[in-house]
Chain A
Amino acid sequence: GENVEQHPSTLSVQEGDSAVIKCTYSDSASNYFPWYKQELGKRPQLIIDIRSNVGEKKDQRIAVTLNKTAKHFSLHITETQPEDSAVYFCAASEPWGSSNTGKLIFGQGTTLQVKP
């Protein structure tokens, strides 16, 4: 089955700097890659996602890039702000098929701290 590894586990940046979180996946047939932000004690919230037919997607200060050949994808946050501080999870979707159901496999999470 699919396996997702996420790095780093913790990341500290100064306000205004950029932050990059990387994930690798094992199943080359995976085709959907969402990113979630989870504030302390709250639910994970979808912040951006990308499908395997696209190499990059942007939404204001956040962007996701996908390298299918290398089987890795990254979250980029520019001009970080203190409210960006949270735990970020990447995920990869197992492909749909007779033995798979498209369920999401999550990385272990990255705790991002943005210092004012």
Chain B
Amino acid sequence: DGGITQSPKYLFRKEGQNVTLSCEQNLNHDAMYWYRQDPGQGLRLIYYSQIVNDFQKGDIAEGYSVSREKKESFPLTVTSAQKNPTAFYLCASSMPFGTSGTNPQYFGPGTRLLVL
């Protein structure tokens, strides 16, 4: 877990503003993920990337965008199209699928996004 960092810890968004959440890992993991967690709820997948320069939509991708230009970094942009962005955002990473199956995901400390 210590190898995944997220910044900032808290982020405030004004109406109509795009904001970007940072996620960096030094675990040499190929796969990275973004989840949204609402109070008292489970984790919902926003986007994921299994390799540099490639990413896929998760279950709630509308209003969000990502890029994966480097193996270590997977930033998430919350656009103005996301009308209810207040949530706890968690980034995770894992080794790619291997001969033994899916590998564990490890989470960063999270970013709490609030709307002004």
For A43, the closest partner residue in chain B by CB is: B107
Alpha-carbon separation in the docked complex, A34 to B106 (Å): 11
* A44–B1 alpha-carbon span in the complex (Å): 10
Tell me how many residues of B have a C-beta within 8 Å of chain A.
23
Q: Mark A35-76, 1 if CB is under 8 A from B, else 0.
A: 010000011111001011000000000000000000000000
Residue ID in chain A nearest B35 by CB atoms: A106
Among residues of B, the one whose C-beta sits closest to the C-beta of A97 is B97
Q: What's the dominant secondary structure at chain B's contact region?
A: loop
Please judge, given known A-B contacts A93-B102, A96-B102, A106-B43, whether A45 and B97 are in contact too, CB under 8 Å: no
Given contacts A101-B56, A102-B97, A106-B43, contact A43 B110 (CB under 8 A): yes
Residues of A within 8 A of B (CB): 31-32, 34, 36, 42-46, 49, 51-52, 89, 93, 96, 101-104, 106-109
